[in-house]
Structure 1
Amino acid sequence: MKRKINLLPFLIIAVLFFLINSYVLSGIHSLSSNPFITPVFWISIAVITGSLFYAIQRMRNKEMDTFFKIATHAFLILIAAELVFTLILLPNDLYRLAADVPRNIYWVEFAWFVFFLTIGAFIYGMIFGKYAYRVIRHTLYFDDLPENFDGFTITQISDVHAGSFQNAKAVQKGIDLIKKQHSDLFVFTGDLVNNKAEEIKPWIGHFSQIKSTYGQFSVLGNHDYGDYVKWESEAAKRTNLEQLKKYHDEIGFRLLLDEHVEINKNGQKIILAGVENWGIGFGERGDLKKALTNVAGSDFKILLSHDPTHWEAEVTKFPSKIHLTLAGHTHGMQFGIEAFGIKWSPVKYRYAHWAGVTGNDGLYLNINRGFGFLGFSGRIGIWPEITVIELKRTPK
């Protein structure tokens, strides 16, 4: 017996889509009465929407191809620009209706200016923004940091998503920026690939250039397990994961799988632990207790855990203090505003804290905004990040 499909949500979306486009069209008519505008507008909308549905249909049981990417990005840019246009013009129109005055043409022109500005921002983000690497620095103070680690530096990147890369020269610029930091320790906090181990193979030569005095360490992210593609068998899926682990080794990353290592410096140590992916809604594989087996409660601990939801759910409640947790996963949604004192991204409605450092009293979480990109082939306002954290003893 076939399951009955509820068409109501699709109908509501279709009606809203029609109303938004009709409203945008009214904005065009405010500036021009050319009779060809209406048919050209609706034909354009039909072509973009039709391409999206066709791309989705032909994508079933296949991986994303160029046509799918073009169709989805064209639709995304259209919707984003139309929503911005509507948000700007609608308040003025509501006032106009209440006050019974004609539509303000200058306001319509401003709405169109922002419409095209939005399209320009998306194009910039797709061409340049996704490789616009930034170094973000944090200095964190701890009362119980071993003296010999005062001033110790850690470079962190996360969410490489190698299957999305296309520009080797641009990626190399990011690698060079990592190398320029000359940090004591390098860590990678998961999602090396989108789905399959083979995606990292062309980039091994790039990431293997990363070296640090006290080593390079990594953990797995939710995408690394191959959960989001169809496999011919469970055995093939397991083989893919084992191959990815080998690629970590080829790159020179020591992959921490619910385990820890000691970082020793001049007779003193800190603990670096790493867990398999643990995230609310993204698989709770990691075993924190196992990762910290035989670690003394008084030891200074740094944890690599891909998903930041792990921090509040388990890390802050762990019997012994985990001083610093390094995570990624959110990407800052690759879209938002971080300027003029504003820090906003739609991802805040899923994660209360989605980028940078949070915490206090020597218990901190840092969320890296990601080195790569996924889904939307670009970044707008939330640039790819290389984090450098300096550990300092609290001044007496």
Structure 2
Amino acid sequence: MARRLLLFLLLFFVVDIYFYQAIITLTDDIYIRVAYWLIDLLLIAGMIVLFVAGRRLQHSQRWLTGLFTVLLSLAIPKLLTAPVLLLEDLTRLFRGFPPRNIYVSELVLFLAIAVLLTVIFGLTRGRHFYKVRKLTLHFADLPAAFDGFTITQISDIHVGSFTNQKEVQKGINLANAQQSDLLLFTGDLVNHAASEMDRWISAFAQLQAPYGKYSVLGNHDYGDYIQWESQTAKIANLERLKMVHKEMGFRLLLNESDQIEKEGESIALVGVENWGKNGFQQYGDLRKATASLPTNIFKVLMSHDPSHWDLVSEDQEQHIHLTLAGHTHGMQFGIELFGFKWSPIQYFYKRWAGLYQSGSKYLYVNRGFGYHGLKGRIGMWPEITVLTLKQRR
């Protein structure tokens, strides 16, 4: 943790020096120049003090998170506009390094302000800026009765991060407004403890779908990221969380399957426990979950972590037609414009947001309904997915 914090602060300082070149090109006012560095130094010093003090200071973690958020808000505009200065330097290299062009520096400052406003929006309104993403998927072997069948997927609620019940209710209402046949939740209901759901059970119980509501567990649902007073308490927490799913009207699939019947035909809904790479739990057992299913039945798999698709389900003996995942949140930060998609999470996960295809198999990675860690979403808005299944004729 300490090493990562130091690396972040070092990167921030390097980018800061580079962005400062645009500031000194535009003004020689000593007060502006001093204020530029004073703000950064106070933020960095505050973070170091709080990190070193740790639990000795009351609410130190909350203050540390707050300062980190402010620092990140200032760093992102500088980081994203630095390439413009770098491009100018490449041209200056072949021109004997003349003074910087004032218009380039003005452009950099304008872009930085625009990015900063986007960041501020993301940290205030962006966390509940719900987007409905609709896709139609075609399958050659989809039963005729399910031609046009709709599925609403939500994922990564992280209810322990929520503070505004009115805004969350908007997301719930929006999900219900899609009037899908089936509603699926792909894990991470809480941040750590089942008790986080106490005030939210009735709200999420409002979610409705005529063919049922199903869910699976995500990595956060097992309570692995906090210290419990005993192993018994941790086990009791997980059992309570399973009951919460039932109280909300969801059927929780734990390495098991169910069949959805319509007009005498059926498709299989499969749900596995969390299975992830890079140290995440690998409780999921796809072989067990599909053991009782006919080989040729159409299958929809709910698996929280998309790495499970790459490493397990894509090459599973039984053909999995559609896999629904979440987990990545799109890192709650990125750019999606005119078909272009980028987020730092793509350097850690091969499949991290949206639709992926391998032959006749599909994976959809939901960007998440809630948020965790970063108290907002910047460019990677919370998502409600609506998938329509169609026969390929």
Instruction: Please give the range of the TM-score, normalised by the shorter of the 2 chains.
Output: over 0.9
Give the TM-score taking structure 2 as reference length.
Answer: 0.92
- The number of residues matched between the two structures is 390
Q: Which residue in the other structure is 1:104 paired with?
A: 101
User: What SS does the corresponding residue of 1:182 show, helix, strand or coil?
Assistant: coil
TM-score (norm 1): 0.92
Residues 355-366 of structure 1 mapped to structure 2, 5 A cutoff: 355-366=353-364
**Superposed displacement of residue 185, structure 1:** 0.7
Inter-CA distance 341–109: structure 2 relative to 1 (3 Å threshold): same
Q: Aligned runs of 1:105-120 on 2, under 5 Å?
A: 105-120=102-117
Map of 1:207 onto structure 2: 204
Cross-structure match for 1:284: 282
CA distance in 2: counterparts of 1:175 and 1:116, whole angstroms: 33
Q: CA deviation at 1:352?
A: 2.2
2:21 pairs, out of 26, 34, 50, with: 26
Q: Are the structure 2 counterparts of residues 59 and 121 from structure 1 closer, same or farther at C-alpha, using a change threshold of 3 Å?
A: farther
Deviation of 1:367 after TM superposition, in Å, equals 0.8
Once the two structures are aligned, what percentage of the paired residues are identical?
47
Contact 2:50–2:60 (8 Å) recurs in 1: no
Deviates most, 42-51 or 210-219: 42-51
**Aligned to 1:195, what secondary structure does the other structure show?**
coil
Contact 1:138 1:390 in 2 (8 A): yes
1:72 corresponds to which of 47, 68, 85: 68
Match among 303, 306, 310 for residue 305 of structure 1: 303
Q: Distance in 2 between matches of 1:170 and 1:11?
A: 36
Q: Deviations over 1:282-327 (max 9, x none)?
A: 1111111111121110111111100011112111211111111111
Partner SS, residue 153 of structure 2: strand
Cα drift, residue 87 of structure 1: 2.2
1:53 aligns with 2:55: no
Residue 175 of structure 2 corresponds to 178
Decide whether aligned partners of structure 1 residues 191 and 35 sit closer, same or farther in structure 2, where only a CA change above 3 A counts: same
Q: Deviations over 1:42-99 (max 9, x none)?
A: 3211211122223434555999854233211011112212223422223213433541
- 1:233-281 superposed Cα distances (whole Å, 9 cap, x missing partner): 2222212211111111111111111111111112221111101000112
Which amino acid in 1 is paired with 2:259? E
Deviation at 1:370, TM superposition (A): 0.7
Asked whether the equivalents of residues 219 and 274 of structure 1 are also in contact (C-alpha less than 8 Å), the reply is yes
| 1:351-392 deviation per Cα after TM superposition (whole angstroms, max 9, x unaligned) | 222222222543211111111111111222221111111111
Structure 1 residues 98, 125: closer, same or farther in 2, change over 3 A? Answer: same
Pairing partner for 1:378 from 351, 376, 383 = 376
Q: In the alignment, residue 285 of structure 1 is paired with which amino acid?
A: Y
- Structure 1: state its 5+ residue gaps: none
Q: Which residue does 2:265 correspond to in 1? A: 268
User: Compared with structure 1, are the counterparts of its residues 92 and 217 closer, same or farther at alpha carbon in structure 2 (3 Å cutoff)?
Assistant: same
Q: Contact between 1:141 and 1:362, CA under 8 Å: does it hold in 2?
A: no
Which residue of 1 is the match for residue 39 of structure 2?
A: 44
Paired letter, 1:122:
V
Contact 1:303 1:326 in 2 (8 A): yes
Aligned equivalent of 1:321:
319
Q: Report the Cα offset of residue 341 of structure 1.
A: 2.5
Find the aligned partners of 1:344 and 1:161 in 2 and give their Cα distance.
23
Deviation at 1:132, TM superposition (A): 1.1
1:86 matched to 2:82? The reply is yes
The 5-angstrom pairing of residues 335-374 of structure 1 reads 335-374=333-372
Aligned to 1:194: 191
Alignment map for 1:210-229 (pairs within 5 Å):
210-229=207-226
- Pair 1:144–1:336, CA change in 2 (3 A): same
Cα-Cα RMSD: 2.4
Give the 3 Å change call, closer, same or farther, for CA 92–285 of structure 1 in structure 2.
same
Q: Distance in 2 between matches of 1:6 and 1:388?
A: 41
**Structure 1 CA distance, aligned partners of 2:358 and 2:10?**
48
Say which of 133, 137, 151 aligns to 1:136.
133
Distance 2:12 2:391 in 1: 56
> Are the aligned partners of 1:59 and 1:68 in contact in 2 as well (CA < 8 Å)?
no
Deviates more, 1:11-20 or 1:227-236: 11-20
- Structure 1 residue 6, shift from structure 2 partner: 11
Task: Give the unaligned 5+ runs of structure 2.
Answer: none
Letter in 2 for 1:164: S
Compared CA separation, residues 41 and 6, structure 1 to 2 (3 A): closer
